[in-house]
Amino acid sequence: MIEVKGLTRYYGDFPAVRDVSFTIGENVIVGFLGLNGAGKSTVLKVLGGILMPSAGLVKIAGVDALEAPDSTRKTIGYLPEEPPLYREMKVAEFLRWCGQIRGMAAADVEKRLPEVMKICQLTHVADRVILELSHGYKKRVGIAQAIIHNPKLVILDEPISGLDPVQIVEMREVLKTLKTTCTVLVSSHILSEISQTCDRILVLHEGRIVAEGSESDLKRRLRGKLAVEYVVRGDKADVQKTIAAVEGVSSCEVKTDDDMVSAHVVFDQDAREAAAAALVAAGFGLRAMYERTSSELEEVFIGLTREGEADHKEAA
Amino acid sequence: MNGLWLVTRRELSAYFNSIWGYIVAAVILVIDGLLFNAFALTDRPRLSFEVLRDFYYFSFGTTTIAAILLTMKLVAEEKQTNTIVLLDSSPLSDWQIIGGKFLSALMFLTGLILATAYMPALIMVNGKVSLGHVMSGYLGLILVGAAVTAIGTFASTLSRSQLVAAVIGSVITVFLLISWLLAKVANPPLDGVLSYMSLFDRHFRTTFMEGRIDTRDVIYFLSLTFGFLMLATRFFASRRWK
């Protein structure tokens, strides 16, 4: 369904996305995971035909999106983080217009409209002015405008941001329904959302894909890496310097907690005792040691972005 | 063509469904009415021809102001509210979007211009003017409206801020209005170019305003309209590469 090779996008001199490549099949939900500024929205905008890439190849359903942007846009539905809505229009009127500008005949829009209203649970607000709707309903109208023309690819940028817990559950159901008819790309920095709805996750960091696979694939990738948190009395910079000098330490993140220093250390090999010994030998008061497993997706994500960053520095 | 009409229809409905369209229409019609009252209903006896000529004189000013006010939001507001994404992600071409927006503003403006027709009608009832003078004056106003609407549409593509768009549109329009003054102090061949560019003095005052239609003026206004629409489409298209 989607083939991306060497996608690069600059904003001025700033490379927002660098040499990104991936392929995505049909009828799957794929999540783009990353911190703010990681390049998720830029990748989605390029796939949606909103931005042109600075370099690289983008094919949607076998068609080069650069050579035939108008025809590829007909097959794509796009919803940015803030739903683009003409607030003075009524819901049904707005959706009819959206269908028509995407090349649907008026009669086809009329046939499709009840189905879309049902999927997005908008039937009872069809004649309401968009301005009067709550944030959750506006988001649903945003999704409805993205799917009204029966697209093969639906791109949803942060679809659950700003929704309450009930609305999040409802949105998950909508995404699952969409998956039966098209490929869905979702971006989010809410990791639990990605893990619950997506078949595959692409992790972006500083414009690059640092990891990809299912949730279990990503966890497996970090399994075997030891992580220990040392609580130490001493100077923050000195603690970091001492731990970083120990052989087998992959990364060390230090933060100050009251008058204590907390060092989150990830090991390439088991050097837990050596690190503790180094801290004691350097004269720091070692108050506690906690083993930190990378079982939670948040941990996996942090580990992957650090790993990706380290790989990139090494390559550079 | 269908895409162009879809954009035109939506933009037109936006004028009628928002307070802005009504505010602009009300303000322009009130100013037009007040000026007509002040110029036409004087104690000194005047020829009907003179009254009608003065009506077109101030209507020229109100038409340009209305065109700037109606166009400032066309693209800038879409960028500001991010609804531009709807158009960006659609298969509509850039000229369909710009053309549709231009047409909607021009249609609304034309309606506004024609709503002043009761004033020439009053002159016809109470005096004696030719229908040709009335028609040529209105043709001139619509052509001026089209040209300034194109300028305003172009200005609106340059900024996210409606205010900035209005300022840019006004600066271009004022430059075209006063270019005849600049022509007086410029050297050849620049003086000729500046003199030709004059929106009011060269192409409206001595022709449409006095009941004459000169094809050179028609060509000038249509060229200006087409040129600024081309520029607007170019600038609008560049957003995908920024």
ipTM of the complex: 0.87
Backbone angles phi and psi of A62, in degrees to 5: 85, -5
Which candidate from B10, B18, B82 shows the least CB-CB separation from A97? B10
Closest residue by Cα to residue A274 from A243, A250, A251: A243
**What whole-number percentage of chain B has pLDDT above 70?**
100
Which candidate from A50, A82, A89 shows the least CB-CB separation from B89? A50
CA distance A144 to A131: 16
Question: From chain A, which residues contact B within 8 Å (Cβ)?
Answer: 11, 48-52, 70-71, 73-74, 76-78, 80, 82, 84-86, 88-89, 97-98, 100-103, 145
Which candidate from A52, A84, A86 shows the least CB-CB separation from B240? A52
Using a CB-CB distance cutoff of 8 angstroms, which residues of chain B are in contact with residue A89? 13, 17
Please return the burial class of B44, using the count of CB atoms within 10 Å of its CB with bins 0-12, 13-18 and 19+. Answer: exposed
Residue A197 confidence (pLDDT): 85
Assigned token pair, A126 = 């069809």
B13: contact with A, CB 8 A cutoff: yes
Helices A297-315 and A215-222 cross at an angle (nearest 10°) of 60
Using a CB-CB distance cutoff of 8 angstroms, which residues of chain B are in contact with residue A84? 81-86
Q: What is the pTM of this model?
A: 0.82
B150 versus A203: which is more confidently predicted? B150
Which candidate from A70, A82, A84 shows the least CB-CB separation from B91? A70
- The Cα-based distances of B234 to A174, B91, B224, B241 in angstroms read 39, 17, 15, 12
Residue A222 confidence (pLDDT): 58
Residue A313 confidence (pLDDT): 62
Assigned token pair, A304 = 């992957």
Residue B36 in this model has a pLDDT that exceeds 60:
yes
Using a CB-CB distance cutoff of 8 angstroms, which residues of chain B are in contact with residue A150? none
- The Cα-based distances of A226 to A219, A231, A253, A289, A305 in angstroms read 13, 16, 14, 13, 16
**Within 13 Å, how many C-alpha atoms sit on residue A44's CB side?**
30
Question: Who's near A129: CB < 8 A, 6+ residues apart?
Answer: A87, A88, A89, A90
Which candidate from A50, A71, A74 shows the least CB-CB separation from B85? A50
The whole-number average pLDDT for the span B15-42 is 90
Nearest CA in chain B to A70: B91
Residue A37 confidence (pLDDT): 84
B130: contact with A, CB 8 A cutoff: no
- Per-residue pLDDT of chain A in tens (316 residues, 90 and over written 9): 899 999 999 998 899 999 999 999 999 999 998 888 889 999 999 999 999 999 999 999 888 888 888 888 989 999 998 999 999 999 999 999 999 999 999 999 999 999 999 988 899 999 999 999 998 899 999 999 999 999 999 999 988 887 788 888 888 888 888 888 899 999 987 776 777 788 899 989 889 998 888 877 776 665 656 788 899 998 888 898 999 899 888 888 888 877 789 998 888 777 888 999 999 999 989 999 987 754 455 666 777 776 666 666 666 5
- The Cα-based distances of A142 to A11, A86, A157 in angstroms read 27, 11, 11
Nearest CA in chain A to B5: A101
The Cα angle at residue B61 between residues B59 and B67, in degrees rounded to 5: 95
B42: contact with A, CB 8 A cutoff: no
CA distance B156 to B149: 10
CA distance A214 to A229: 27
Using a CB-CB distance cutoff of 8 angstroms, which residues of chain B are in contact with residue A73? 89-91
- A119, A113 contact by CB (below 8 A): no
Closest residue by Cα to residue B5 from B104, B89, B87, B76: B104
CA distance B84 to B176: 30
Point out which residues pair with A233 in neighbouring strands: A285
Reported as type and span, the H/E element at residue A93 is helix A91-101
CA distance B63 to B50: 20
The Cα angle at residue A308 between residues A305 and A312, in degrees rounded to 5: 140
The whole-number average pLDDT for the span B62-80 is 96
- A58, A50 contact by CB (below 8 A): no
Residue A224 confidence (pLDDT): 54
CB-CB under 8 Å, B14 with A86:
yes
Question: Who's near B67: CB < 8 A, 6+ residues apart?
Answer: B105, B109, B145, B148, B149, B151, B152
Backbone angles phi and psi of B37, in degrees to 5: -60, -45
CB-CB under 8 Å, B81 with A101:
no
A interface test, pick of B12, B18, B90, B96 with most A CB neighbours within 10 Å: B90
- A138, A86 contact by CB (below 8 A): no
Closest residue by Cα to residue B129 from B77, B53, B61: B53
Residue B195 in this model has a pLDDT that exceeds 70:
yes
Residue B128 confidence (pLDDT): 86
Residue B125 confidence (pLDDT): 86
B5: contact with A, CB 8 A cutoff: no
CB-CB under 8 Å, A50 with B240:
yes
Residue B172 in this model has a pLDDT that exceeds 90:
yes
User: In this predicted model, what pLDDT tens digit does every residue of B119-147 receive, in sequence order?
Assistant: 999 888 888 888 999 999 999 999 999 99
Nearest CA in chain B to A71: B91
Count of Cβ atoms closer than 10 Å to residue A245 Cβ: 12
Residue A212 confidence (pLDDT): 87
Q: What amino acid occupies position A219? A: K
Residue B218 in this model has a pLDDT that exceeds 70:
yes
Q: Is A232 left (phi over 0), alpha (psi -120 to 50) or beta?
A: beta
B81: contact with A, CB 8 A cutoff: yes
A interface test, pick of B4, B89, B104 with most A CB neighbours within 10 Å: B89
